[in-house]
Amino acid sequence: EAHVKRFRMEAEAAASLNHPCIVPIYEVGERDGAFYFSMGLVDGGQLDAVAKREPISVRHAAELIAKLARTVSYAHEHGILHRDIKPGNILLDVKGEPHLTDFGLARLAETESTVTRTMEVSGTPSYMAPEQAVGDNARVSGATDIYGLGAVLYQLLTGHPPFAGGTTYETVRLVLDTEPRQPRLLNPKVDRDLATICLKCLEKDPQRRYSSALALAEDLERWLKHEPIRARRTGLVTRGRKWVRRNPTSALLVASLVALAAAIGAMIWKSEFVHRPLATGIAVLPFENLSKDEENAYFSGGVQDEILTNLAKVADLKVISRTSVMKYRSDLERNLREIAKTLGVSHVVEGSVQRAGGRVRVRAQLIDARSDAHLWAEQYDRDVADVFAIQSEIAQQIVNQLRAKLSEAEKAAIAERPTADPVAYAYYTKAKEMDLSVNWEGDEKNLNQKVELLEKATQRDPNFALAYCALAKTQVDLSSMVGEPDSRKHLELAKKAAEAALRVRPDLGEAHLELARYYFYAGVYTNDYSRPRDELAIVRRKLPNNAEALTIEARIGRHENRWDASLANLQKASELDPRNDEIAFYLGQIYFEMRRYSELEQLQTKRAAESGTLDSLGLQSYLARIKLAQGDPVAAQSLLEQVPLDYSPGFWVWDIRFTAALYLRDYDAANRVIAATPAKWADFAFGGQSASWAEGQVARARGDKQKAVAAFAAARKKIEAKLGDEAKDAIYLSEVATLDAGLGQKEQAIREARRAVQLMPIAKDSLNGPTLVANLALLYAWTGERARALEQLEIVATIPGLAPTYGDLRFNPCWDDLRGDKRFDKIVAAAKAASR
């Protein structure tokens, strides 16, 4: 009876948890005298089996445990302990996301459980905490689960559990009486900070472990972001005292071996030190052009770019991308310590280039910016034809000085010449320099000039793979600036260039990167992102420090419901390229889409402070957007009052102004914003919709049905030209459906909106799918189908993606048809709770 009671209690406890990383319990029951429960299916495998098939990287291990720690924190907040965390109870789905299962030993934390007492020792010996090993149920707490997480992390980092004896008894004795071996001794790739985090979880005394699972998750996330961790390494004296208390009879023997231990320890320290890179990151600053001919500025820039590119091929180094270092030009006064602090690095490289006739002089120096110590400097005087050898030698010297590991493949990649044709290389470097003159809004003329230069480079040298790669990227950039059918034409030209690069160099990481970029943008039309993922897997091996690859991977993840992984990738990309506006945009966007508004505000404010733009109109406008999402249109309007109406850096500002006026129900102000919107943005400025759509919204909110119908009809006329004959584009189809609802075409609108959701369900596209469901809810509301509207709205009110924000649900007049219904009020409250 006690076992039955335990079974029911623990199954019901697990069933009460509702978390995406906890395998759900659907039913608990009895049949023919046997008790059972049914649970969700996770199509993947157990963590231990997956790790045996393919070793998990140190970083991936930390990411998994950080997610699981947040999952355990959720269970603890609901008063439930797991008490049997081990690799076999962690399932990885097909996307690699972890799921915690088997709460077979779980209990309500606040309950003095008589059930659990039926077992002397609850847990799996190799992963159980000391308090479990001695059967001390009174001391079992959240710290017990933290120990289990630490044990799993130890297993992933080293390939072994922290303790494993020949029998259960021996294992329990090891758990109680010995300390786990340093993870770094079993796997040199584990750095000191991560080892410290792991060993803090495995402290014998629960009070010395992390105070909560959330604290563990946050410390792992700090490590993943290369920030200082909170855990502190256990000192030698402390470790010795603990050992002596557990082994008093051996203490005398140990004392006699101190000298020998010190010698061995010194050897180990030296070994670790030799293999540990001295740098936390490196930035290659623009080289000074000492040539009289200004045309040689491109040549100087090319030298710096190649050195930076070569260093970025070394997995053991964090190298800041070119976009972020180019603002620190050599003709400006440089404060290396401040530059290094801003970029998050310890070392910088400076240099100069002088070309005269057929000779070139390159000088480079490596500086530790923390102390201003010049670690290495060299001057090279050679023929211009030897410039590639110079660049490779400089990169090699820097790697050696920083004691970074360099594989044979990386060494070969650094030594490879991009081209043997100096004229082709000149075209290429000039084209690369043009990247710095293209603004965020896009300069089509500059990009077309860049295409011409790169085509000349490939005509001069048909085997110039990097020039083909640059050409492919430029064609993708052009595709995003023009309408159909020109957009797809540029995409196909991008594919052609990337494939040309691969024909020349099948193993070139940059070529696979450009093919991944092409497939990603093509995936917008097909909603198939498997091809870019395959290419990015190759890029990760070839270009481990490439911020662009991380950004593309993050953008794919937003469509595939991999939000946490996408955020981590963008954070890493931002570390590698902290001044890159595109990365900053997507990082801000994902915070917004994940409803993490407070963090987004901190991010934008910090970035503005670093760039000296805290008073900028752009920041005020962006902060207004955040306030609108948080449900504070008054604060948003107060910010916007500081921004003149003629301030127009992009279409997004007009959408923010319009939304603020709409939420405040200042319809005259909303119409003034519509009228002032520049014509070039009028067709898509309002949440991707046209000015006519915005006019219809205002008229409908005012109750002016005739004007609303006229505006919606005009908007439909504009958009229907974008639909193909078979109307297969889900987003456009959904927009048309909403307009048809506004025009009173109920049946047609519902049919179109449902079809759009079928074409692009949330399961297929977690970024855009919520928009289509929200549009379906909106047209149900507009056509009197209140119950159906609420059913659809409940699906998207709290999830990430392009879904309605709390502010939208609370203040947008478009939802007025649902106001006054308690079910709608509950949905709005849930959306508010989901906002952070």
* CB contact at 8 A, 679 and 701: no
C-alpha of 133 from chain center: 39
pLDDT-based confidence at 460, cuts 50/70/90? very high
Domain 626-834 classification at class level: mainly alpha
What letter represents residue 480's amino acid? S
Q: Return the pLDDT at 324.
A: 85
Mean pLDDT of 735-747: 93
Task: Identify which of 438, 436, 428 has the alpha carbon closest to the alpha carbon of residue 468.
Answer: 428
Instruction: Say whether pLDDT at 265 is over 70.
Output: no
pTM beyond cutoff 0.75: no
Sequence letter at residue 37: F
pLDDT tens for 545-572 read 899 999 999 999 999 999 999 999 999 9
Give the pair of three-digit tokens for residue 32. Answer: 């023919």
**pLDDT for 681:** 78
What's the pLDDT at 698?
A: 95
**Superfamily of structural domain 282-415:** ABC-type transport auxiliary lipoprotein component (3.40.50.10610)
In the predicted model, what is the mean pLDDT of residues 264-278? 40
Same fold, 444-544 and 626-834: yes
- Burial category of 365 from C-beta neighbours within 10 Å (exposed 0-12, middle 13-18, buried 19 and up): middle
pLDDT given at position 301: 83
* Domain extent listing, the chain: 44-234, 235-272, 282-415, 444-544, 626-834
More confident residue, 261 or 784: 784
Which one of 3.30.428.10, 1.10.10.10, 1.25.40.10, 1.10.287.1770 gives the CATH number of domain 444-544? Answer: 1.25.40.10
Distance, in Å, from the CA atom of 558 to the CA atom of 560, rounded to the nearest integer, reads: 6
Per-residue pLDDT band at 139 (split at 50, 70, 90): confident
User: With contact defined as beta carbons under 8 Å apart, do 545 and 576 qualify?
Assistant: yes
Residues 313-371: tens digit of each pLDDT: 888 888 888 888 888 876 667 788 888 888 888 899 998 888 887 888 888 888 888 87
Residue type, 479: S
Rounded to 10°, the helix 822-834/786-796 angle is 10
Q: pLDDT tens, 659-705?
A: 999 999 999 999 999 999 888 878 878 888 889 999 999 999 999 99
CATH of the domain spanning 44-234:
1.10.510.10
Rounded Cα distance, 812 and 664, in Å: 9
Predicted pLDDT at 618: 84
Mean pLDDT rounded to a whole number for the chain: 84
Structure tokens at 689: 């919709």
Residue 321, pLDDT score: 86
pLDDT at residue 270, as a whole number: 38
Of these ranges, 34-48, 150-164, 170-184, 429-443, the one predicted with the greatest mean pLDDT is 150-164
> How far is residue 251's CA from residue 244's CA, in Å, rounded to a whole number?
6
**pLDDT for res 766:** 94
Helix (H) or strand (E) holding 229: none
